[in-house]
Structures are given as C-alpha cells and as structure tokens.
Amino acid sequence: MKICRSIESLAEALAERGQRRVGFVPTMGFLHAGHLSLVKQCREDNDLAVVSIYVNPAQFGRNEDLDRYPRDPQRDIALLENERTDLLFLPDSGAMYPPGYATYVSVEGLDAVLCGASRPGHFRGVATVVLQLFNLVRPQRAYFGQKDAQQAIVIRRLVRDLHLPVQVIVMPIVRDSDGLALSSRNVYLAPAERLAALHLPQALQRADALVRSGVLDSRAIRTAMRNELERDPLLASEYIAIVGLPDLLETPVVDLNNTLIAAAVRVGRTRLIDNLLLGDLSC
C-alpha cells in the first residue's frame, strides 16, 4: 500500500492511473468493521482502491470533539494493508485548508435539518472536504456508510448538482453483537453508557417492527421510539426524524420505498446517531 501524506504526492501517485477504475473511501480514521465493509466493496468493484484518513476540522463545531476525536494511524494502516488497499491518503491536519483557503460548499436545506440543526456548519464542512477529495482522487465510485445517512444524501445531491462523474455507493450499517451501530465515537462510552446507548438501536427496531406490522403513521412510530429512548436517564434524545427521501422533509405517513427514520441521542458527552432506511440512497 502506497501512503501519500501530501496533496502533491497523491496527485503524482494517481497520475499513473491510466484506464484503471478508481474506487474511493473517504474516512476520518480509527477504522472499524463499518469502514472496512466499504473498503472491501471498493476493492471488489474497482482496479485501484483509494482510502483517505483525514479528521476534517471544518466539519466540527467549536464545542465539539475535534481535539479528542480518536486516532490510531498505525492500526488503521495495518487494517487497510490487510484489505489490500492500493493507496492511502493521510494528509496533515492543516493540509486541506492551507493559509488563504476560502472556498466552502453548502448543500442548502439538506444541511439544516436532522444532524444539521444541532451541528450548524457540519455538512458544509463535509461537503467541502469531500468535494476537495473527489477532485484530487477523481474516483469512478465512492463509498459511504448508511449510518451517516444524511451525509450520504448531502453528497449524493452535491454530486448531482455539480455534475461530478462519480457513483455514490451507500453500504449497510454494521452493528456490534449487542446491536449498537459501529462508530469511532463508541470508544468514548463508559460501560453504563454503552448499555444506555443500546436503547437507540432498540428504538429503531421498534420502529421497524411497527412498520412491518403495517403501522405507517409517523406520530405513532415516533411515540414508540421516544418511549424506548426515555427508558434510561443516561440517554437524552436529540431528535427523532421520520423524513422523505431525498428532501429530508418530515412526512406524516411512512412511504415504504422512500423514508428515513433517524435518531440522534446524547449519552454523557457522547453524541450517537443511527437510522432505519426504507429505500435506497445510492446514485
């Protein structure tokens, strides 16, 4: 695996791509099996599998966890070697925003709801760094996890609006054996918090059971989810959203082919998200 630590060396390494199909997995590192499922698919679909690890400062709010976000590049490198990654882009923290950097991309509307409502500027940071990375790597395909469903929807819209020649592929959520969706931030959880956090996937399981039993009324589903989330005082619900795709507008009735049921909670200082997707996010 070739490791490029600067934009210049990445550009140089990719100049020799020729006609090879390039797949790309952008990450913030501290890789888990969710990330690796993206890398495996990327490896399978393409001639050249490119992964980036960059904890993107522009997508963190002032009071968020940029400084303490978990990092373990040596372990990540070993995991990526093991998945036969061809190229790892591992730039310095300031590399994507050099002095004088001024250009930011917003996917308006989509960036203001759900996680965007509680994390102003977050999706502007995501869209900006992903656009930069897409322009540097120029992949035919890019892989994102469904756990960050809103992120995938924002990127999908960005790709369409800006005519980027990249296929966005969204892979299913990977869960731990207890049901918690894998996230680099799970490492923050103390044991009691981890137990409390399980009410998040359980709330989504309740929503899933209701929908499967024919209950499509969003209010009834939201109430059942809220009841589940309120069962542990360590957990505070941030939002429960039942929204249509691709516009993320609240819907009173679930469309079985086109709905995202998503929730965010706080467990202690840790913010966790999870969702249930009825439909398809890829493009």
Q: Which residues bind a second copy (CB under 8 A)?
A: 7, 100-110, 127, 131-132, 135-136, 157-158, 161-164, 246-247
Q: Which is nearer to a second copy, 11 or 190 (CB)?
A: 11
Q: What is the gyration radius of the CA atoms in the chain, in angstroms?
A: 19
Closest by Cα among 207, 228, 271, 249 to 112 = 249
35 annotated active-site: yes
With CA atoms as reference, report the closest residue to 133 among 232, 265, 11: 11
- Residue among 203 and 248 whose Cβ is closer to a second copy: 248
Smallest separation, CB 92 to a second copy (Å): 16
Question: Looking at the DSSP assignment, which residues form a beta bridge with residue 260?
Answer: 243, 277
Query: In this complex, which beta carbon is closest to a second copy, that of residue 162 or of residue 190?
Result: 162
21, 140 contact by CB (below 8 A): yes
- Pick between residue 32 and residue 157 the one whose CB is nearest to a second copy: 157
Dihedral, CA of residue 262, residue 145, residue 31 and residue 267, to nearest 10? 0
CB of 64 to a second copy, least distance (A): 20
Minimum Å gap between C-beta 91 and a second copy is 12
Closest separation in Å from C-beta 108 to a second copy: 5
Residues with Cβ < 8 Å from 245, sequence gap 6 or more? Answer: 153, 258, 259, 260, 279, 281
Q: How far is the CB of 232 from a second copy (least distance, A)?
A: 37
Nearer to a second copy, 110 or 114 (CB): 110
Residues 68 and 29 sit within 8 Å (Cβ to Cβ)? no
d(CA 18, CA 31) in angstroms, rounded, equals: 29
Q: Which of 35, 122, 163, 199 is catalytic?
A: 35
235 burial (CB, 10 Å; 0-12 / 13-18 / 19+) is buried
Identity of the amino acid at 95: A
Please identify every residue annotated as catalytic. Answer: 35
